[in-house]
Amino acid sequence: MLEYKVLGNDPSKEYVLFLHGIGGSANIFFPQLKTFRKSFNLIVVNLPGHKNSPSLASYKQKFSFEHVTEDILDVLDEIGVDKVHFVGISLGSVIIHKILEVAPHRVATAVLGGSITRINIVGRFLLLWGTLLKNVTPHLWLYSLCARILMPNHNHKDSRDAFIHEASQMKREDFLGWYDIVYTVPDTFKNVEAKASHIPKLYVTGKDDHMFKKDIMKDTKSLSNTSILILSNSGHVVNLDQPDVFNEAALSFLHSHGEMDVTKIEDNIIYTNQ
């Protein structure tokens, strides 16, 4: 069973489940928890290989996104919650794509921050390069390099440092296990429209997310029930780069189950399809 914590048990409130990125932990949502808890019961989860959740070596079969999805649904079953709002960042958003495919009935709405829908040619080159180096370099060095490539700007420093700090507690075999399935990320997105067109989805991406922004805008443009926000002064980890703006947009979306009022944050938005 994954390590998780439930914050609040008010039967009049809906649940929000947070999913972090690779190398991170539930701690990366600290700018969200206090604000979100005013309106929702919260579930924060540490993914396999992170903090006190099971190591990837504990899985009998080759680790995959299918395993992670099953683990998260097991958490919901243990808590006794049928349906939740999902909020994910980076890898967390990728996992939400998989949940939308295999268990759309468990999803009320989805907020996908710093999402990934495909791996472009630069990303494929970096993955190949990392694959060649991963067995001869410290895993934290490889993670730090990836973090600096994804979050290169000065205004990304706090986000970058937070993720590197969290990743320093991750075992080498767990990091490499996640690294080995990154190439399957595009497969998690392929069936989102076919399986979950009826579910409201909000994609929030930073203007400076140079690795994934263009593909997100292109790939989500034709999705049903889908809103897109591109935030200024933000990179890949939008919930840390622009926490107040992210919170305002996400909470508005969750409260209304798919509608969104961005009036208060319009000066921080450089693109929206609303």
Q: Kindly report, residue by residue over 102-117, the tens digit of the pLDDT.
A: 999 999 999 999 999 9
For residue 167, give the amino acid letter.
A
Residue-range domain boundaries for the chain: 3-272
Record the pTM.
0.94
Confidence at residue 274, expressed as pLDDT on a 0 to 100 scale: 67
111 φ, ψ (degrees, to nearest 5): -110, 120
The predicted model gives 174-179 an average pLDDT of 92
- Alpha helices (runs of H) in the chain, residue ranges in sequence order: 30-37, 65-79, 91-102, 121-133, 139-150, 157-167, 172-179, 185-189, 192-196, 213-220, 238-241, 243-256
CATH 2.40.50.100 fits 3-272, yes or no: no
Q: Kindly report, residue by residue over 26-58, the tens digit of the pLDDT.
A: 999 999 999 999 999 999 999 999 999 999 999
Residue 72 in this model has a pLDDT that exceeds 90: yes
List Cα–Cα distances, 83 to 99, 101, 110, 122, 260, in angstroms: 12, 15, 11, 37, 21
Coil, helix or strand for 55? coil
